[in-house]
Each structure stands twice: as structure tokens, then as C-alpha cells.
Amino acid sequence: MDVQIVLPIVLGISVVALIVAAVLAREVLSAPTGNADMQRISDAIRQGAEAFLSRQYRTIAVLSVLAAAAIFGFYAWNAEVPNIKQMGAGTAWKVTISFLVGALCSAIAGYIGMFVAVRANLRTAQAATMSLNRALQIALRGGAVSGLSVVSMSLLGVGGLFYLFGGMQDYQHVPLQIVGFGFGASFVALFAQLGGGIYTKAADVGADLVGKVEAGIPEDDPRNPAVIADLVGDNVGDCAGRGADLFESTAAENVGAMILGIALFPVFGLGGILFPLLARAFGLIATIVGVYMVSCREDEDPMNGLNRGYLVTTILAMCGFVAAVKLLLASPGTIEVHNGYLIMAGFVGILTAYAFVWITQYYTEYKYRPVREIAEASKTGPATNIISGFAVGLECTGPPILVISTALLAAYWFGRLALPTMDPMSAGLYGTAIATMGMLAPCAYILAMDTFGPITDNAGGIIEMSKQPEEIRHKTDRLDAVGNTTKALTKGYAIGSAALAAFLLFSAYLDEIHKITGSHMGVDITKMPVFVGGLLGATLVFVFSALAIKAVGQAAQVVIQEVRRQFKEKPGIMQGTDQPDYAACVDIVTRGALKQMIAPGLLAVLTPVAVGFAFKYLGAAMGFGNQSGAEAVAALLMVGTIAGILLATVLNNGGGAWDNAKKYIESGAFTVDGKVVGKKSEAHKAAVVGDTVGDPFKDTAGPSLHVLIKLLSTITLVLAPLFIL
Amino acid sequence: MDVQIVLPIVLGISVVALIVAAVLAREVLSAPTGNADMQRISDAIRQGAEAFLSRQYRTIAVLSVLAAAAIFGFYAWNAEVPNIKQMGAGTAWKVTISFLVGALCSAIAGYIGMFVAVRANLRTAQAATMSLNRALQIALRGGAVSGLSVVSMSLLGVGGLFYLFGGMQDYQHVPLQIVGFGFGASFVALFAQLGGGIYTKAADVGADLVGKVEAGIPEDDPRNPAVIADLVGDNVGDCAGRGADLFESTAAENVGAMILGIALFPVFGLGGILFPLLARAFGLIATIVGVYMVSCREDEDPMNGLNRGYLVTTILAMCGFVAAVKLLLASPGTIEVHNGYLIMAGFVGILTAYAFVWITQYYTEYKYRPVREIAEASKTGPATNIISGFAVGLECTGPPILVISTALLAAYWFGRLALPTMDPMSAGLYGTAIATMGMLAPCAYILAMDTFGPITDNAGGIIEMSKQPEEIRHKTDRLDAVGNTTKALTKGYAIGSAALAAFLLFSAYLDEIHKITGSHMGVDITKMPVFVGGLLGATLVFVFSALAIKAVGQAAQVVIQEVRRQFKEKPGIMQGTDQPDYAACVDIVTRGALKQMIAPGLLAVLTPVAVGFAFKYLGAAMGFGNQSGAEAVAALLMVGTIAGILLATVLNNGGGAWDNAKKYIESGAFTVDGKVVGKKSEAHKAAVVGDTVGDPFKDTAGPSLHVLIKLLSTITLVLAPLFIL
């Protein structure tokens, strides 16, 4: 295959995917919008979400411009330092532009996803009054708008910058210059996920504590002034936040794999560098087919329909992967290449994705032992419920890590078998890169399933608040339950890909240092700066989580006070004679969440920078050589990633398990001494406590940790040359 | 100073300290024992504790013999392998004997401490009926029996084995052979702390859930059949468990520092190897003086008395430290040594101990912001209490890690300044070893304060159960509050010393590998086996904690069923007309705890062994060289230690903060809208939930993690030669 046409093909497929996204959006938007009651509620959600996003983006824009200025300043100031100089002409502005484009694309991707999601909720609700299948399709297609645009924007951004910066000629330097794209994406993602995550849980916890606990009104009751803020939260946290999260994943991993491709240039030429983009583009086509295949019978579990679509997507993605390997990773004849082993490495990645999805289900669904144990523990009150849930969270780190360890070793092994005459280290690393590409092939479909969650959640809320008949509620409840499952699966998938990608990005970082200094960098943890760097990296993860969790509590306090004020000043609200001021609540959570996202965000960004610069000089003064800064940051990144994967798993799965233990008790299947124990029982009250504790864990701190892990990678990739004396 | 007399001096001081311990024990035992009611309760506690210990020791003895056989087998089987052969003649049986002696000493130290503690509780209770000062002195002196015997037994064991194995001549090999002593001590400590920790919290949680929640009777009510088991638990968890924990700390760190001393043999000769023992022996003298200095006025906070004693101990220990440096670390003239900098490094350690004690107080006492925030959060129910407490736990990892990082760097720096012409790496490492010795100098006093905790706690229980008048209860309450503080401080100190010692033991491990293979081993985390080893090490910490926490829940279930059975079969118990069967409860918790300690214990022991042997062959097959097993285990140890320090801090301080948030509300100083909110309020109920959640965190999983960290070090030290192909 002529390598010159790869980039046009990738960009072409991306544009086609965007067009398909537009078609899907049109289809969703032209669906019927239900009665006036439903529209009023949906409008309020839409306005709240858009108001939050526009304010959030303004804050993030200011921070991004400051960060861009700092990056430009760092590079321009050091332009004459040999390390920087040899990165090629115009590095300072190229890195900075990449950063800004990455930030912008991330923001656009988040916006598009949410634009459709806050409209798809109403259409899904309306469709549910007619047909379950139609509702399922509208919700998934709404989600697919997000999934397709995220992945294609990332391909357009990386591929476009590579082309514009002249990567087809200067392939050695350009990937190092476009690392800024990944950093821009993670920078925006960090604040988007933090802000959205804080918003959604502050509104949720606040609404529940005043509504359910103090005023004694049910969840989603229209008399609760915070109820709209709660529904808005689902969109800004799950749609916009997770969209930005997965956008940066695809962006960072594309760039990382391209950098590793440079090392294999003698083997595959430009094809090795462009392979990640082509494999991902084929995955886009697979997703489009998969999404259009989804349907379900009226009496069927909608999850079956989604699973069929996932299976089709995965099979097609595997075929596309094989094709991409055959087309681009062929041997030029001079070096021995066993294509089959590279395909095996890719399949390792795809199997890992499956294993993670299965493990997450095991630990968070109430069909299985762990959640049932939590429900059992609820019998003796909230304390034992919490202890049991926390133990499940800690315990469930074991199986995923065994899977990841096996996957890393297997992929490494296949890489070496595929390239037997190559330097074994590079060959093995390329094997793990291929596995990561395999895992990420069906990414757009996974993202569509993720956004499906808040759309169906919102649809349920609209049906509930507009007081539709029982059988329609039943349909949206079923969709909502499926949405909860898909949200949990996506988090498992996000962690798995973060873990696999961490090694890829880390290797890219080392390769970058190698290119700059000409010598291979080891990260020897027996050296003091390296050990201290690792210690600080793990601590960053813990303190960051603390700040994220506390932020929810503080923002929730503001909501509680506002709702209390409204109940006090307008007693008619509770009697149903007066309208609550939804907008005031939305506004107050918005301000609270934006204020609270700053501290954890800055901590995450500044810690690696501070460690890098501190050890650049301190390490050298202590006799550890001129790469001490880079080595300390490498340890910070690696140990921080390990700690982050573990803590995020604890928080996500613990939270999910608590949530479903409550749902299990509510389901009516839970018995004590042969008698059914359900809602309003003491066990249920205890389970509600666990569910509330899990909320900020699984929807704020956990997902923010995914972003943090990748931010650490991209920030070190961008600043690596500056950490070397 | 003639180096030949150092060992006799060390052993002599140890024997003197043991005699002082016997004198203190005699003094405590000859104190009056109160009325018949008090004696009956105390007898029940004593019998329960001794029954538990004898059964636990039988189980541990079986496990120890199996482990010893395995160690002997490994070494004997590989006796002709060059790595093992060059460790010197008789290595197999010397390592095995060291292991068994270490295990035995640890068991004896734990037994002595508990023997006195379960008798001192009654004497303290009786003394409290007369004088606060006398009660304080009896409780502390009872604790000091434990502190002094732990440290002197560790010195006798290490010093004695060194002498018996001919270390004065064969100083190169003998420290490597007596690493078994440290492993034996940690092996017993692991099971002692796990079994004791599970026992204490299973009894506590079980007694509370049936007593307080179901039957509505107060804590420590004699009608509760589990109340004696609860009081027994304080002794077996805190006295025996923590005693074994700190015994292995001192043992492992002595051996580790001696191994590092070998590397400096050209500088200091044998003096450098024996320095750790002498510094520790001087610390013993300082402790004896400090303990005898403690007294307080009747109207004074007893904590002031303890603080004065601690200050005296610290100042004397510093003087002793200076003397030991001057005596043993003098330059032979050929190499430049700046003694002053070595002393500075020691002071870094002592300051670190202070900083840790202060930080722990800040995060766990209700004078300060964090605990007050948790109390505030309790107003809105148990969920917000838990969220807030967990956030405090995560947050409070930051300051200690910054202190440890600074201390490590500073000590390293002083080491290099002290030995400017040496190989900088060895000089720096010796600096950190000296700092660790400094931190551990006042160890016996800290341990005495720790055992003070359960003695006063028990004394309070005896006073409560024997229905003494209010003003006496008030005295024991004050002592009990001080005991809670000292227990929290000790945990902070234990973590700090574990963190500092981790680097010391790790360096000893590398030195050992160096001696065996002749080449310096790097632990380059960019290598796949090293990264995977690190990943597994951190995961081990999480899964181990999960098992420890779950074990408490499962053992507590057994208690709950037993208490329910007794209440049902003997309705007279609640009316006070029938006696509850305390012994049945004690017996059932004993069996439950011993059963539950096996799984986490074996996981901790077998994981490093499995990883070492797996990567020994797998790593080599993958082309990572013949040290892959040792490198993977090194990463497991280092990253596991980092994760362990962080998670233990979260669990200990989170648990302590929850406990004191409850106490703050009970104190009557907590107000809502200007009104005092105390016991029985909704906020208090919420705080009780947090307290219960924190119990297994701070008294089972957290302290077991301290042991785990050091077990990882000693197990790798013992098996290191076997992990190399």
C-alpha cells in the first residue's frame, strides 16, 4: 500500500464519520418531542446544561490560554538549549498550537455530545411512550453522535497536525511536536471531568439530603428546587466529562503509538507511524455498522440489543485491525516480520477489554456474590454496609491487575516473536502498543453506550416528572437500568485502557528522552530522586482524590442552603401552589462546581511540573546526573499511574457495588429469614447511606483519576525536554 | 574505643533493661488489686487473653515450623549453587536457626507485654480510686515492661546471633545469615497483629451491634455476653499485636543497618556494623530514665506527664546518639569523615519522629480542623460523615509524605557531606540509615506509651463494670482519653519509621544482591518484569487490606449469633437474674479470629515468593537477564511499600478521626445553631456509624499493613539469593 494515501484515507474516514454523526443527530432531533409538560422539563435541563457548559468553557479557556502561554514561554526561553534546538525548527509554536488545537477539539467534542444528549433525552422519553425499540435506538444514536465525533475529531486533529507540520517528510520530529495536542486534550478533560463530576454529585447529594431526608419527598419530585440541577448533572458529568475523558485517551494514545512507531521506522517506514491512525479509522467504520445494527424486541432486555451491536463492532474492528496490520506493517524484505504475531498482540488487547467488562460486571451487578454480600451486611446497619462495600472495592483490584499484568507480558512476548531480529526491548514495547490499539479499536461504540446512560436516565426523569402512566415508566426504568450497566462497563473499560496505555505513553516518554539526549534513560527506583518521585506520584493520587471528594461536599452544602431558603421563603412550593426556582439552583451549583474544580486541577497540573524542575537541579546537585528531573518525573508518572489505577478501581467499583446493593434490596428479591425486605426497611436505609457515600467516589473522584493518569503522561511528554539539565 | 567491647556493652545494657523490666513488673504486680468485683472482671479478661494467646501461638508455631522447613529446604537444595555457596559455610541452618530464634523472641516479647498488661489494668483501676498520679505511673510502667523487653530482646537476639555465628571474625557473611531473625520476627508479627486485630474488632463490632443497637444496653454493660471478649481484644490486639509489630521493626532495622555497615567497612571497620546496636542500647537507657520521670499532679492533664517523660527520653537519646557516633564512627585516619554531619542525619530522624507525631495529632484530635469538619458533616447524616472522614483520610497522606521525602533527601545529603571522599551512593544511603537509627532511638518509650493505651482502656472498663462512683470514672476516662491519643501517635510513629526503614531495608537488599552477584543491581521500572512486579506489589497491599477488613466482618458475625443465642436461651440475662456466659464468647471469637487470619497471612507471605520465582525464569526467558526475579521482587517491595504507607495512613488516620469526631460530639462542645448537640442526637448517631467503620480500618487493616511492609522487606532479604538464576 502506498503510504502517501494512508493519511488521506484516515482523514476521509473521519470526515465520513462526522457526516454520519450529523445524520444521526438530524434523525434524533427530528423525532417527536412529546407533550408540553415533557418539553418544559427538557428545556429546563437543556438550558441548565448549556449554561453550565458555556461558563465552564469560559473558565477553562482562560486556564488554557495561561497554560499555552507557559508552554510557549518554557520552550521559547530554552530555544537555544541543545535539547530543545534539536527537536526541530519552530518547536515552541508548534507545541503551543498543538496544545490549543487539542484543547479546542476536546471542548468541541464535549459540546457536540452534550448538545445532542440534552435533546435526545426528550425524544427518548417520547419514543418510550410508543416503542421500547425506538427509544433504545434514539438513545443509542444520540450517544453515537458523541462517540463518533470524539474519535473522528481526535483523528482529524492528530492526522491534520501531522500533515500540516510536515510529518510526511520530517517524521522524526513532528510526533514530538504534536504531543501538545494530547496535553491540550487532557488539560481540558481534567477540568471538564472535575467540574462536571463535582456538579453532578453536588446536585445529586444536595437534592437528596434536603428533599428525601429533610422534606420527605421522593427522588425526582418536581417540588424539589434542585431536581433540575440533578438532571443537568447527569449530562455535564457523564456526557461532557466522559466525552472529554475518552477524547484525550484516543488523542494521547494515538500520539504515543506514533512516537513508538518512529523507533520502528527502519522496519516499517512511515507505515509504522501511521498505523495507529488507520487502525482507529477502521474502528470508526465498525462502530457505524454496529450502531445501525442495534434493535430489540418489545419484550426483550434492551441490553441484549446493545450486546449484539457490540459484538458486531468488535468482530468488524478485529477484521479492520487485521487489514491495517497487513497493509501497513509488512516487512520491507530486509527485516524479518511475523505479521501473525502482531495480530495476536492486537487480539490480546481486544480480549483484555472483554475481561475488564466482565470483571466490572461481576463486582458491580447484583446477580453476583460481592453486591449480595453488601446487601447482607446492610441488615446490621449502615456501618457494616460501608465496611463491606469498602472491602469489596479494595478486593476487586486483584483480578483486573492480574489481567493487565498478563496482557502486558503476553503482548510484549508477541511483539518479540513478531520482530525476532529487532532490538528485543523495542519489539516488545511495540507489541504492547499494538495491544493498546486493539483494545481501543471499538472505543467509539463504547463511548456511545456510555452517553446512552445519561440520556436514558434523563428520559426516565422526564417521564417521572411529567407523571406518565405506569407502563411507560416501566419501559424507561428498564432502559435506565441498562444505562447504569453501560456506565459501569465504560468505567471498567476506561481504567483498563488507561492501564495498558500508561505503559505505551511511558515508553513514548522514554523514547522521546532517548531522541533528545541520545542515551537510553533508565528509571532506577534505587536512586533517591526516583524513589521520592514515585512516592510523590502515589501521594498526588490520594490527595487529588481527597480534594475531589471534598469539593463535592462543599458544593453540596451550597445547594442544601439554597433549597432550604426556597422552602422557607416560598412555603407554597411544598403544597404545590408555588413554583420552585430551578434556575437559581442550577446557577448556584454551576458556580460552586467551577470554584471547587480549580484546586484539584491545579494540584494535578503543577505537581509534575514542580517535581520535574526541582529534581532537575536538586538531583544534579546531589550527584544523580543531568537526567534526574526527567527520571523523577518518570517515577512520579509510573507509580502515580499504578496508584491511580488501583484507587480509581476501588472508587468506581465500590461506588457501583453500593449503588446496586441498594437496587438489589429495592428489587424485592432480597429476603431476611425468608421474608422479602424491600424499600423503607432498615436494610434499605443502610443501603441508601452506602449509595450516597459511593456517589462522589464513582462519579467524581474515580473518573477524574482516569483523566489524571493520562494528564500525567501527556504533561511529562510535553515538558520532558525541559526537565533535562 | 575498642570495638571488641561493643557487643558486650550492648548485651549488658540489654540484660540490665530486662532486669529493670522485671523490677517494673514486680512493682506493678505488687500494687493493690481492688475489691472482689473488680478482680472477677479482671480475672475474666486475663484468662480470655491468655487462652487466646496460647491458642494463637500454637497455630503460629505450626506455621513457623513449616516456614522454617521451607527456608531450610530452599537453601539446602540450592547449597551448591554459586550464589548460595559464597554466602559462607552453614548458611542453610544459620538462616533457619535465625528465623526460629526471631520467631521465638517475638512470641516471648508479645507474651511478656501482655502478661503484665492484663494484670496492670486491675492495679491501674484500683490506683485510680486513690490517686490519678499513681494510676498513670502504674499504667505506664506496665507498658514499659513491654517496651523494654521488646527492644532488649531484639538486641539480645541480633547481637547474640552475630556473636555466636562468629560475626566478629566473619563480618562479611554473618549479617546476611541473620536476616532470618528479622524474617522470623515479621512472620510471627504478621499473624500476631492479624489475629489480634481481627479478634479485637470482631469482638468490639459484634458486642456493639447486638448490645447497643439490638438490645439497647450501653457499652461495657456486664449483661452483654461479648463485653469481656471486647476487653480481651484490647489486650491481644494492641499489646501483643503492636508489641510484635515493633519487635520486628527494631529487629529488621538493626539487621538492615548492619548490612549497610558492611559496605562501609573500609571506613569504620566493625564499628560501623555494630553502631546500630549501640545507638539502640543507649536509647534503652534513655527510656528507663524517661519512664521513671513520669508523674503528674492530681489536677493536671496526664498527657503532660507523658510528654515530659518523652522529652527527657528524646534528649537523652540524642546525647546517647552523639556518643555512639563519636565512639564508633570515627575515621581511621585514611578516609575523611565529618562526624558532625552524621549526627545531623540522626537528628533528621528524631525530628521526623516529632513531625509525624504532630501531624497525626493534627489530623486525629478534635482540637483541629479535620475532625471538626467530620463532626460538622455528621449533621447531615452518616453518609456525609463517611464521605468527609474518608476525604480526611486521603488528604492526610500529603504532609507525612512531604516530611518523609524531605527527611530522606536531607539525610542522604548529610551522609554525602559526612563522607565526601566515599562512593556518593553508599555515603548517602548510610546517611539515611543513620536517620532511621535516630528515629528509632526513643522506640522503647513510644512502645510503653502504646501499651499504656489498652491498660487504661481496660482499667476504665473494670471501673465501669464494677459500678464505681462517678469521680473515679472521671479519672479513668481522663486516662483513657490520653491512651487514645498515645495509641494514635504510636501508629503515626510506626508508619514514619516503616517509611524511613523501607529505604534502609531496600538498600540492604540491593547490597546483598551486590555481594552475591558482584554486580550492582538497578531496579529499572521501564523493564516489563519490574513494572509488573511493582503493579503486583501495590495490588497486594489493597487486596490484603480487603481480606483483613472482611475477616473482621466474618468473625463479628459469629459473635453476633452467639450473643443472640445467649439472649434467647437465657432471658434472665437482660433482667440481671442470670449470668451471661462470657467464656463462650471469648472462645468463639478466638476460633473465628484464628481461622480468619490465615488467608491474608498466607497471601502476604506467598505473593513475593511466587513473583520472585516466576520472574526468575520468565524474565530470563523474555530476555531480561538472570536478575529478573530479584528485580521484580525489588519493585514489588518498593511500590508495595509506597502503597502500604499511603493506605495505612488513610486507614489509621481516617479511623482515628472518625473516632474522635464521635468523641467531640459526646464532649458537649459541639453546637448546631448555637445549641449544644451531644449524645443521642442524630449527629451523634451518624458519628457512631463513622466510628464503627473506622474500627477495622485503624485497628486491624492499618496496623497489619505496617507489618506487611516490613515482612516484604525481610522476606525478600532472606530469599534474595534464590531469586537469581
pLDDT digits (tens, 9 = 90+) for A561-595: 888 888 888 888 888 788 888 888 888 888 888 88
Residue B249 · residue B711 · CB < 8 Å: no
The pLDDT, as a whole number, for residue A343 is: 92
Taking CB atoms and an 8 Å limit, are B646 and A646 in contact across chains? no
pLDDT at A331 over 70: no
> What are the two backbone dihedrals, phi and then psi, of residue A650, each rounded to the nearest 5 degrees?
-60, -50
The C-alpha angle with vertex B103 and arms to B173 and B444, in degrees rounded to 5, equals: 90
3-class secondary-structure state, position B675: strand
Taking CB atoms and an 8 Å limit, are B693 and A408 in contact across chains? no
Assess A542–B contact: CB distance below 8 Å, yes or no: yes
Assess A681–B contact: CB distance below 8 Å, yes or no: no
Q: Could you report the per-residue pLDDT of B110-132, keeping only the tens digit for each?
A: 888 888 888 998 999 999 988 99
Assess B504–A contact: CB distance below 8 Å, yes or no: no
Whole-prediction pTM: 0.93
State CA B712 to chain mean position distance: 15
In chain B, which among 391-410 make CB contacts under 8 A with chain A? 391-395, 397-398, 401, 404-405, 408-409
DSSP A510-576: HHHHHHHHSSPPP-BTTSHHHHHHHHHHHHHHHHHHHHHHHHHHHHHHHHHHHHHHHHHH-THHHHT
Taking CB atoms and an 8 Å limit, are A638 and B525 in contact across chains? yes
Q: What is the mean pLDDT of residues A444-459?
A: 89
Average pLDDT over all residues of chain A: 88
Assess A643–B contact: CB distance below 8 Å, yes or no: yes
The pLDDT, as a whole number, for residue B320 is: 92
> What are the two backbone dihedrals, phi and then psi, of residue B669, each rounded to the nearest 5 degrees?
-95, 0
Taking CB atoms and an 8 Å limit, are A689 and B506 in contact across chains? no
The pLDDT, as a whole number, for residue B1 is: 66
**C-alpha count within 13 angstroms, C-beta hemisphere, residue A313:** 33
Taking CB atoms and an 8 Å limit, are B424 and A689 in contact across chains? no
Q: Could you report the per-residue pLDDT of A616-629, keeping only the tens digit for each?
A: 998 888 888 888 88
Of A552, A642, A696, the CB nearest to B535: A642
User: In whole angstroms, what is the distance from residue B377 CA to residue B366 CA?
Assistant: 14
What residues form DSSP beta bridges with A676? Answer: A671
Instruction: Tell the residue number behind the cell numbers 449544644, with chain if given.
Output: B676
CB-count burial class (<10 Å; 0-12, 13-18, 19+) for B124: buried
Residues of A in contact with B531 (CB under 8 A): 408, 503, 638
Of A523, A622, A692, the CB nearest to B526: A523
One-letter amino acid for residue A273 of the chain: I
C-alpha cell at A84: 530543545
Residues of A in contact with B657 (CB under 8 A): none
Nearest chain A residue (CA) to B387: A693
The pLDDT, as a whole number, for residue A553 is: 85
Count residue pairs from A and B with Cβ separation < 8 A. 223
* Range B334-370 burial, b when 16+ CB lie within 10 A, else e: eeebeeebbbbbbbbbbbbbebbbebbbbbbbbeeeb
Instruction: Tell the residue number behind the cell numbers 455535564, with chain if given.
Output: A236
One-letter amino acid for residue B690 of the chain: G
Of A522, A547, A646, the CB nearest to B524: A522
Residues of B in contact with A386 (CB under 8 A): 386, 689, 693
User: In whole angstroms, what is the distance from residue A530 CA to residue A615 CA?
Assistant: 9
Instruction: Please state, in angstroms and as integers, the Cα–Cα distance from residue A514 to each residue in A419, A529, A724, following that order.
Output: 21, 19, 11
Residues of A in contact with B524 (CB under 8 A): 522-525
- Ranges of residues in chain B whose predicted pLDDT is under 70: 1, 331-334
For residue A608, what are the contacts with CB-CB under 8 A and spacing of at least 6? A633, A636, A637, A712, A715, A716, A719
User: In whole angstroms, what is the distance from residue B642 CA to residue B499 CA?
Assistant: 8
Assess A389–B contact: CB distance below 8 Å, yes or no: no
User: In whole angstroms, what is the distance from residue B349 CA to residue B370 CA?
Assistant: 27
ipTM score of complex: 0.92
Nearest-Cα distance to chain A for B250, in Å, is 23
Of B391, B545, B635, the CB nearest to A394: B545
Residue A631 · residue B424 · CB < 8 Å: no
DSSP A404-423: HHHHHHHHHHHHHHHSTTS-
For residue A52, what are the contacts with CB-CB under 8 A and spacing of at least 6? A199, A232, A236, A586, A589, A590, A593
CA-based nearest residue to A594, from A192, A247, A4 = A192
Q: Could you report the per-residue pLDDT of B603-641, keeping only the tens digit for each?
A: 999 999 999 999 999 888 888 888 888 899 999 999 999
The pLDDT, as a whole number, for residue A635 is: 93
For residue A332, what are the contacts with CB-CB under 8 A and spacing of at least 6? A267, A268, A269
State CA B451 to chain mean position distance: 11
**C-alpha count within 13 angstroms, C-beta hemisphere, residue B523:** 31
Of A213, A380, A386, the CB nearest to B209: A380
Taking CB atoms and an 8 Å limit, are B642 and A646 in contact across chains? no
Assess B381–A contact: CB distance below 8 Å, yes or no: yes
Which H or E run contains A40?
helix A36-77
User: In whole angstroms, what is the distance from residue B597 CA to residue B198 CA?
Assistant: 7
Of B412, B534, B545, the CB nearest to A622: B412
Which long-range contacts (C-beta less than 8 Å, at least 24 apart) are formed by A671-679? A672/A379, A677/A379
Taking CB atoms and an 8 Å limit, are A386 and B507 in contact across chains? no
User: In whole angstroms, what is the distance from residue A65 CA to residue A43 CA?
Assistant: 32
What residues form DSSP beta bridges with B676? Answer: B671
The pLDDT, as a whole number, for residue A485 is: 79
Taking CB atoms and an 8 Å limit, are B689 and A689 in contact across chains? yes
The pLDDT, as a whole number, for residue A228 is: 86
User: In whole angstroms, what is the distance from residue B3 CA to residue A715 CA?
Assistant: 54
Nearest chain B residue (CA) to A531: B638
CA-based nearest residue to B628, from B507, B511, B517 = B517
User: In whole angstroms, what is the distance from residue A484 CA to residue A718 CA?
Assistant: 36
User: In whole angstroms, what is the distance from residue A13 CA to residue A22 CA?
Assistant: 14
Assess A383–B contact: CB distance below 8 Å, yes or no: yes
Residue A194 · residue A544 · CB < 8 Å: no
pLDDT at A515 over 80: no
Nearest-Cα distance to chain A for B391, in Å, is 5
**C-alpha count within 13 angstroms, C-beta hemisphere, residue B191:** 27
Q: Could you report the per-residue pLDDT of A129-184, keeping only the tens digit for each?
A: 889 999 999 999 999 999 999 999 999 999 999 999 888 888 878 888 888 898 99
Residue B580 · residue B516 · CB < 8 Å: no
Assess B700–A contact: CB distance below 8 Å, yes or no: no
DSSP B189-210: HHHHHHHHHHHHHHHHHHHHII
Taking CB atoms and an 8 Å limit, are B394 and A642 in contact across chains? no
More confident residue, A485 or B182: B182
User: In whole angstroms, what is the distance from residue B662 CA to residue B385 CA?
Assistant: 10
User: In whole angstroms, what is the distance from residue A113 CA to residue A116 CA?
Assistant: 6
What 8-state DSSP symbol labels residue A676?
Answer: E
In chain B, which among 175-234 make CB contacts under 8 A with chain A? 205, 209, 213
Nearest chain A residue (CA) to B208: A380
The length of chain B is 725
The 3-class SS string of B94-125 reads: HHHHHHHHHHHHHHHHHHHHHHHHHHHHHHHH
Instruction: Tell the residue number behind the cell numbers 479535620, with chain if given.
Output: B370
pLDDT at A220 over 90: no
